[in-house]
Amino acid sequence: MPEWWQILLTIAAGVVTGLLSGMFGIGGAIISNPALRALGAGPRIAIGSTLPAIIPGALTGALRYRREGLIITRVFRWTAPFGIVSSVGGAFAADAIPEAHALTLALAVLLGITSVRLSRTPRPPVPVVAETDAETAATTAGQISPGGHDASAAQVPRWKLGVTGLLAGGLSGLLGVGGGVLMVPLFTGWLRIPLKPALATSLACVGILAIPGTISHAALGHIDWGFALPLAIGIVPGARLGAHITIGISEHRLRVLVGTVLGVISVVYGVAELVALV
């Protein structure tokens, strides 16, 4: 059980984690993982204890985005189920990987790639054309969340959504990062979804993907609830505030902000891990 000062610092880390989660749709574990390790948790415990805390924060932020009509239901419906399956495999793969800095170095590299891709000027969204099947027609007719801001995702092939879910879910289970660090650049770059709906839909998926990962890590004994519960207490208000901030700023400013923040975190995180290896 953590000491009282560790609990207070964990709550503070949760607030920052939730803020990043709500703003950038990435789960926020890029902050919580190293924070828990700095507070005394081992690598696997830091990964496992982050996942259950991600769930309430991601759902809180997603509900705020849903009220603005930013969550694209079709994308969520075809991405999340594939991610659920691969997140379980990722969790068990994490148990088989020796405790090493390779996991966190891989995360730093992923964050750097995300930063570069999001900072670029995006290609135009996929144009909306005549619907070709009942499922797609139903999406355009209203199955995008109320007030949906963009219907371009109606034409994204289902297999691309499935592959996105598989990759993001596997990353979520393996590194305990919620999967958003991969989902957001795939949504905006590969699937060409505008940034705000991409962040909102990613956050909704993150909350779902963390559930099977949490169950798997709990079964493997990787969760220290003395860290997970205080982290969750801080994450919930932070995620709500983060979503509110993102909704209120322009997409251009948001893209620059996301790229810059993730780039800084990537460098700091990567350097810290390289130093630890020396």
Domain ranges of the chain: 4-277
Neighbours of 234 (CB within 10 A): 24
Return the pLDDT at 231: 94
Higher-pLDDT residue of 155 and 59 is 59
Average pLDDT estimate for 169-185: 75
Has residue 77 got a pLDDT over 90? yes
Q: Of 115-124, 159-168, 206-215, which has the strongest mean pLDDT?
A: 159-168
Cα torsion for 152, 156, 160, 164, to the nearest 10°?
20
* pLDDT tens figures, 16-66: 989 988 988 877 777 888 888 888 888 788 888 888 888 998 899 999 999
With 0.85 as the threshold, say if the pTM is over it: no
pLDDT band (50, 70, 90) for residue 145: very low
Return the pLDDT at 143: 39
CA distance linking residue 160 with residue 169, whole number of Å: 14
Neighbours of 196 (CB within 10 A): 21
CA distance linking residue 274 with residue 67, whole number of Å: 42
Average pLDDT estimate for 57-80: 92
Give the 3-state secondary structure of residue 2: coil
CA distance linking residue 243 with residue 220, whole number of Å: 33
Return the pLDDT at 99: 53
Return the pLDDT at 237: 93
DSSP state string for 217-271: HHHTT---HHHHHHHHHHHHHHHHHHHHHHHHS-HHHHHHHHHHHHHHHHHHHHH
Return the pLDDT at 207: 87
* pLDDT tens figures, 227-275: 999 999 999 999 999 999 999 998 788 888 888 877 887 887 788 777 7
Do 24 and 16 contact (CB within 8 A), yes or no? no
Has residue 123 got a pLDDT over 60? no
Return the pLDDT at 8: 92
Q: pLDDT > 90: what percent of the chain?
A: 28
Has residue 140 got a pLDDT over 50? no
Nearest to 33 by CA among 245, 228, 237: 228
For residue 68, the 8-state DSSP code is T
Higher-pLDDT residue of 150 and 256 is 256
Has residue 164 got a pLDDT over 90? yes
Lowest mean pLDDT among 4-8, 129-133, 176-180: 129-133
Higher-pLDDT residue of 109 and 9 is 9
Has residue 126 got a pLDDT over 90? no
